[in-house]
Amino acid sequence: EAQADDCSKKLDRATKLIGGLGGEKDRWGEASATLGGIYNNIVGDVLIASGVVSYLGPFTATFRDRIIAQWIELCKDKKVPCSEKFQLTDTLGDAVKIRAWNIDGLPKDSFSIDNGIITSQ
């Protein structure tokens, strides 16, 4: 009877554990889908990022956005997968560095952060 009690308690704990991990399956599924999208677009995103770092540093945000949109269209025409809404911070950004820059006084707008990324490459 003691063994049956012990087994019953173990079964209850296992059931609770499995129930608690149910949300983890969903979270891991979402993370997998997100990473799959990033993986599929990595070639085009790195191509665009290298162009931004190499050529677009001295230009305004408006001009950069216009050129990036043209590069995205060129990638589509050449069947090179890339993100529809390319962001330099998504490709080359380091969240810890960016946070440190913000603490040191860098504005939090994307243009300033992109400038920080460009100058640090």
Distance CA 48, CA 79 (A): 14
Q: pLDDT for 56-74, tens place per residue?
A: 999 999 999 999 999 999 9
Q: Which domains does the chain have, with CATH numbers?
A: 2-120 (1.20.920.20)
Q: pLDDT for 14-45, tens place per residue?
A: 888 877 777 777 788 888 888 888 889 999 99
Q: pLDDT for 74-120, tens place per residue?
A: 999 999 999 999 999 999 999 999 999 999 999 999 999 999 999 99
| 3-class SS of residue 88 | helix
Residue type, 47: L
* Helix, strand, coil percent content, the chain, rounded in steps of 5: 80, 0, 20
pTM of the model: 0.75
